[in-house]
Amino acid sequence: MVLLLIAGSTTLGHFIAVTRIPMIAADWLVGLPLPTWTVLIFIGIIYLIGGSFIDDLAFMILATPIFYPAIIKLGYNPLWFGIMIGVTVMVGVVIPPVAINVFVVKQITKTPFGVIYAGVYPFLISLLFAAVLLFIFPGLATWLPAKLMGGL
C-alpha cells in the first residue's frame, strides 16, 4: 500500500513539475504581504496536516516539489527546510485524527489506543519542542553539516 502511495505521489510530482505548479506557487507565496516566517509556519502546518493523513514519505514526495522553490526564494537554507519537514511530518504521523503510526502499533501489538497514546505523548512533546527550537534557531540543524562539509 505504501509503495502504491509513493508511486502515485511520484507520478503526480512529475505532472506538477511539467505544469510548473511549483514556480507558480513559489511566486504566489513570495508575493504574499506577510512576513517570511508566517509563510513558513503556513507550510509547516500543511506538512503537519498532510503527515497525519498520508504516509510520511509519500506526502514528502508529493509536497516538497511544490514548496521547495518558495523556500529558496524566501532565502531559507534548503538543508534546514528538509530537517524541518522531517520533524514536522514525524509529528504528523502520531497525532490524531488519523495517526498512521499509532494504528500500525495497535495492529501489531493489539494494545488499546489509550495505552499507546500514553506512550506517544512524551515523544510528541519532545518532537514539538525540537521543531520549535529548530524554527527559532536554524543553526542547530545546519551547524554540524556546515562543519563537516566546509560550509553550506
Tell me the H-state helices in the chain.
2-18, 21-31, 36-53, 56-74, 78-92, 100-109, 113-136, 139-149
What does pTM read for this prediction? Answer: 0.79
Say which residue the cell 517570511 belongs to: 36
CB 65 within 8 A of CB 13: yes
| Residue 65: per-residue pLDDT | 84
Q: Please list the pLDDT of the chain residue by residue as tens digits (152 residues).
A: 667 767 777 787 778 778 887 788 888 888 888 898 898 999 999 998 888 888 788 888 888 888 898 899 889 999 999 999 999 998 988 887 778 888 888 889 999 988 988 888 999 999 999 999 999 998 888 888 888 887 65
